[in-house]
Structure 1
């Protein structure tokens, strides 16, 4: 099924023009295949079965935890290797000019070795399972598990290398080596499931068997190869560094030093619920895939188009209207999407050209879209799946996390809104003509399309489990579609399930890779030693310790998807903050914000780079512009560190006071960054206003009075110089 088909949430006509069409369609990634014909139907069937498996297990037929998570990973590996090539794909179904038409000796040798070795390993696992199913044999003959491991590892490596060197670039076929990688994935699953009981006891100890080690090594290679295909080399390199760290610890200085581990203990430990099968995959196999399928249902019913058209009808005519639409629409879509860069590509293809049209420079247009899309990751109730991981890691109820996230998210988006409005005012921009915008009166009659989101929020706070709430919201999206031209019948529901599986594969690979890092941290104890380092820094200055934690969180998150970035930061940095006496909720929100904002932090700002590609602007300059526009997100964590009321902790009067003063502080901060208050600001006045903003965000009555006094004095100064234009609209 092609992913490039576009339709619309509202029927266009002469009286009601439509701007957004297919804004949430998933574009093909460079390595993604577009399978058609019988192969396409087979692949779609795999994806539908994968989605149905998760929905059925989560709601009706619970499974043993390890088995469920292993099947979740293996299904993701199979779909990933069949759906994504080792090399970038050519457009169309035919072979590209780079396709090797005749196999050379090296390719034949690699594929031959991979076929024989992987086939042998798969046959041994099949013998074990046939013996259990037919003869009720508890264990297979000794040669079965004694001989499958090395061939499995050799076959996996040979098929991987063959893909790197020789796989074709046509989107319509699956390379032979990728079929073998899918078979290797099944072999790894078959072995671990067969020995899962004893493996729980011996993994990571001297009792680990050679077969355990080889299966785990092959599994790690498969996970890293799929991660490379889906996200590039950055995360793979980071994971590889952590793996290397496990072996070279005895030769490292300071708090990095540890005794080192042999391969058998390391790899078997990594493939337990302390590593790959741990918290990231626990969340990926439940909440993340459920809400990705929910997003696929919204996409199939074209509700995403309605969200964007609604935003244009409400704000498109205001000055800098497309930028304001981008702030809200991209934030809403980013909340569901789960990846900042992915949301930039989907919604930015519409908003960036329109921002440029009303006068925003290309760099600013790209930066605004990147900043808004990244903000979606901190926007409740879904928070790009971050809320679910935080609940899993901390044990804090999900609803408490969502409530705590409200004020910081409002401050972030209000700050970005102030900045785009003041920039529009400074540059004397206009909005889009009303005649070119959807009519609000028409769209308001379809406000029921917000029902799936409303039902999700209501059921969550009515005491339903997250899984039950997400399932009901998903069903409601299908039901609501019957009130629109895009009714979801059986075919459309199956298409949504197909799309949900395809959209979830990246998160499966990322969470499994993040699990490797979490396992290394737990095995080596580097997280505890990092906590000791933070304590020693805090003896000099707690503020300096927080700044150091901020830098590490951003550094760990650079180049990584949000989910993986937070999972790693939560394992490395958050325990150190807790050891300083900071409440668990505050500590995890602190690292979560900086892990998310690594997507717009130079020099590796993936969301900003994605926006720059759409806008045709310089990537590095765009990343600095996005950093500037998202400055609030770098200040807000220090705010709720000093004022826990911003996380809804404390008395309501104190919460309201801190919220109002922080809002005013965000306005002053925005004015300082843009250089426009009630008129243009020179560098001296911008510095003074920045100091007033920081005073306002501190939360104390005295600092609020100082900030308000400075703001009032600057207002009086500018009023005395000129008649101001109307401010924030």
Structure 2
């Protein structure tokens, strides 16, 4: 059932409408007619497949009838992950062009030849797929399969492997130059989809035997290595299309390291590894099918479906309207709304830059309207959206990846994240509030914002989030809790004008299928890097380097780990940034004797903050595109606004109580003093203290007091309070000139 817009929208001054809808990328195809129906159907079935598989629901389980062509649940883990990646690749290649669409002219010179080449490439792709199916039939009939058998090796190489690699490589290169109208499928992309199906069919067939135990040995069929080569190329090309070059370049560097690491000096030197051995292992749970895909195929896809249901039921719009009603009238109101709304939405959708585009299109113009400079408006939105990735309970899926990698229960991770997340958002709030105070800003008037009374009457729309949190902490599995929350989103929609019926429910699954493509490709690409790290042992050598630095100074080792985490995360989505940094940096920190949870939180925070760290700050650049400000200036401003977050990881390293590790008294005292510390830090950075501007030496004193308060010891807290009291007395009693410059001896 379609949902009519509320007739009272104008009367109630509702501001948000569609803020959580996914933006249309420049290279996404916009289909029409029968093609649209087919692609929408594939996306819907893909998302429904995951929901059914995760909850163990299938046609046979409900009817007792076994239908051979339909998957039976629960699926074998590796097969499920292979199908998960393959489905995203098929959808992705059909929906995303290799480049943006400058026009819809497919009659340019050479277009006809390109189509003929693409059709020619379809033949080896279909041969590879047909051969994989033939292998499946042979194995099903009891044929013995051994990588040392000459006949099998010939068939796998020349009937499957060579045609597959030829079709994959040729179609990828051809797709870069081939032009097709935006509303039509491109033939090279269809070929790539066939190749993705061929890779999945072969791997599911072979891994269905005992061949998975032979990966990395001479007994591994050559087809595994060749299929992994093609699969790796498909994943990297899909990642380039949906997430840009940054992650692809990093993955390429790591792949190069596999084969050239033996020639590097020092701790970077690695043993020689043949391409057959490496690629026979990289498409297993040691790499692509490892922790990143394990999480994307379960928790991430589940919460993408949840987010799609929130979008279809317009609950996301309510979140933003509620934030405007609650905070819009305070000074600099839209900035504070951005903190609340973007933090909440960023927690769910799991991508900083994507959330900036969604909510920033509303909040950034309003911030500029009330007086914020355009670079500050963009910076506030970028900082708030980035903070959503560290906000429990969902943490942009970071908590689930951390749980998968560390084995620490999800609930422990979510609880430990509470105080650091509060410190981050409190700091950002103080920064924007003091900026508004310095500039004498006003809030929005009552006739510009939604009515708070009506928003409060609709507070039941928070029910899906409340059910999610309640179910998680009642001990339900993440999958069961996410499913309940998704159902709740559909149920509460019946209390609004946007009632979800069969049509809108199917549409929600379609949206989820499309939304999932980017994050699944990114997780699979990050899995390539994780595979290189685990198979070459570079992570262990990096740990030894950190141990050496710790012998000189533990703080120096932590600072180096911070820099590497940020560097690895630059230009990458949050999920991939953390997964890579966790594989490279976290083991070294654990070797230093740092508790595992603390080490991974340390790495996670800095991987997340790479989104607002110059010179490559994806969230800041996305915000600058909306605000019209200089991207580099916006990234510097967002770095300044989020400055407390760069100190927080060091805080919980030196004071474990901030991660709920200690008695209640220790936890409460640590949280209270750290909160006061970030208040002082914000005052010092912004130069606003006790209702007025502060002189430079008071700002230095406030920052010093903040660092003492943040450190968390009793003596340091007393020192910080003493400096604060002295600064307050000076500010109120002596009233130093805030514009007074530092006097240099001998100056005129």
Q: TM-score, normalised by structure 2?
A: 0.93
Q: Distance in 1 between matches of 2:644 and 2:113?
A: 55
| Alpha carbons 1:127, 1:144 under 8 Å: kept | no
In the other structure, the counterpart of 1:727 is: none
Q: Distance in 2 between matches of 1:674 and 1:662?
A: 18
CA distance 1:155–1:441, shift in 2 (3 Å): same
Which stretch shifts more, 505-514 or 707-716?
Answer: 707-716
Of 119, 126, 135, 2:126 maps to 119
In the other structure, the counterpart of 1:87 is: 99
In the other structure, the counterpart of 1:422 is: 434
Q: Distance in 2 between matches of 1:263 and 1:357?
A: 58
In the other structure, the counterpart of 2:219 is: 207
SS of the aligned residue for 1:284 comes to helix
5+ long unaligned stretches in structure 2: 57-72, 738-748
SS of the aligned residue for 2:688 comes to coil
Of 184, 191, 209, 2:202 maps to 191
In the other structure, the counterpart of 2:298 is: 286
| Alpha carbons 2:133, 2:202 under 8 Å: kept | no
The CA deviation string for residues 60-108 of structure 1, in whole angstroms up to 9 with x for no partner, is 1211110000000000000000010011135xxxx535x4445458625
| Alpha carbons 2:111, 2:179 under 8 Å: kept | no
| Alpha carbons 1:86, 1:167 under 8 Å: kept | no
Q: Distance in 2 between matches of 1:591 and 1:234?
A: 19
Of 679, 682, 685, 1:670 maps to 682
CA distance 1:198–1:670, shift in 2 (3 Å): same
CA distance 1:13–1:508, shift in 2 (3 Å): closer
In the other structure, the counterpart of 2:242 is: 230
Q: Distance in 2 between matches of 1:146 and 1:530?
A: 37
Q: Distance in 2 between matches of 1:715 and 1:339?
A: 41
1:446 equivalent to 2:458? Answer: yes
After TM superposition, list the pairs within 5 Å mapping 1:397-436 onto structure 2.
Answer: 397-436=409-448
SS of the aligned residue for 1:28 comes to coil
| Alpha carbons 1:370, 1:600 under 8 Å: kept | yes
State the 1:689 CA deviation: 1.1
| Alpha carbons 1:289, 1:504 under 8 Å: kept | yes
SS of the aligned residue for 2:296 comes to helix
After TM superposition, list the pairs within 5 Å mapping 1:296-695 onto structure 2.
Answer: 296-678=308-690, 679-695=692-708
Which stretch shifts more, 56-65 or 417-426?
Answer: 56-65
State the 1:672 CA deviation: 1.0
Of 238, 263, 266, 1:251 maps to 263
Q: Distance in 1 between matches of 2:735 and 2:188?
A: 71
Q: Distance in 1 between matches of 2:94 and 2:116?
A: 22
Q: Distance in 1 between matches of 2:695 and 2:249?
A: 45
Q: Distance in 2 between matches of 1:44 and 1:356?
A: 38
State the 1:637 CA deviation: 0.3
In the other structure, the counterpart of 1:270 is: 282
1:175 equivalent to 2:175? Answer: no
State the 1:110 CA deviation: 3.7
Q: Distance in 2 between matches of 1:199 and 1:687?
A: 64
| Alpha carbons 1:415, 1:666 under 8 Å: kept | yes
SS of the aligned residue for 2:230 comes to helix
After TM superposition, list the pairs within 5 Å mapping 1:15-26 onto structure 2.
Answer: 15-26=11-22
Q: Distance in 1 between matches of 2:191 and 2:442?
A: 57
What is the Cα-based RMSD across aligned positions, in Å?
1.9
In the other structure, the counterpart of 2:715 is: 702
Q: Distance in 1 between matches of 2:621 and 2:156?
A: 48
Q: Distance in 2 between matches of 1:284 and 1:411?
A: 28
State the 1:11 CA deviation: 5.1
The CA deviation string for residues 256-292 of structure 1, in whole angstroms up to 9 with x for no partner, is 1011211101111111100000000000000000001
| Alpha carbons 2:55, 2:480 under 8 Å: kept | yes
Q: Distance in 2 between matches of 1:76 and 1:355?
A: 37
CA distance 1:286–1:662, shift in 2 (3 Å): same
Q: Distance in 2 between matches of 1:375 and 1:14?
A: 31
Q: Distance in 1 between matches of 2:10 and 2:501?
A: 29
Q: Distance in 2 between matches of 1:301 and 1:137?
A: 52
Q: Distance in 1 between matches of 2:119 and 2:344?
A: 49
State the 1:12 CA deviation: 3.2
SS of the aligned residue for 1:195 comes to helix
5+ long unaligned stretches in structure 1: 725-729
CA distance 1:183–1:663, shift in 2 (3 Å): same
State the 1:475 CA deviation: 0.4
| Alpha carbons 1:364, 1:622 under 8 Å: kept | yes
State the 1:234 CA deviation: 0.8
SS of the aligned residue for 2:285 comes to coil
State the 1:125 CA deviation: 1.8
| Alpha carbons 2:695, 2:736 under 8 Å: kept | no
CA distance 1:6–1:221, shift in 2 (3 Å): farther
State the 1:723 CA deviation: 13
In the other structure, the counterpart of 2:51 is: 55
Q: Distance in 1 between matches of 2:107 and 2:283?
A: 37
Which stretch shifts more, 371-380 or 203-212?
Answer: 203-212
The CA deviation string for residues 337-382 of structure 1, in whole angstroms up to 9 with x for no partner, is 1000000000000000000000000000000000000000000000
In the other structure, the counterpart of 1:218 is: 230
| Alpha carbons 1:6, 1:22 under 8 Å: kept | no
In the other structure, the counterpart of 1:242 is: 254
Q: Distance in 2 between matches of 1:109 and 1:492?
A: 40
State the 1:29 CA deviation: 0.8
Q: Distance in 1 between matches of 2:637 and 2:231?
A: 41
Q: Distance in 1 between matches of 2:22 and 2:536?
A: 39
Q: Distance in 1 between matches of 2:121 and 2:701?
A: 67
The CA deviation string for residues 670-698 of structure 1, in whole angstroms up to 9 with x for no partner, is 01111111211233221121111101100
State the 1:630 CA deviation: 0.5
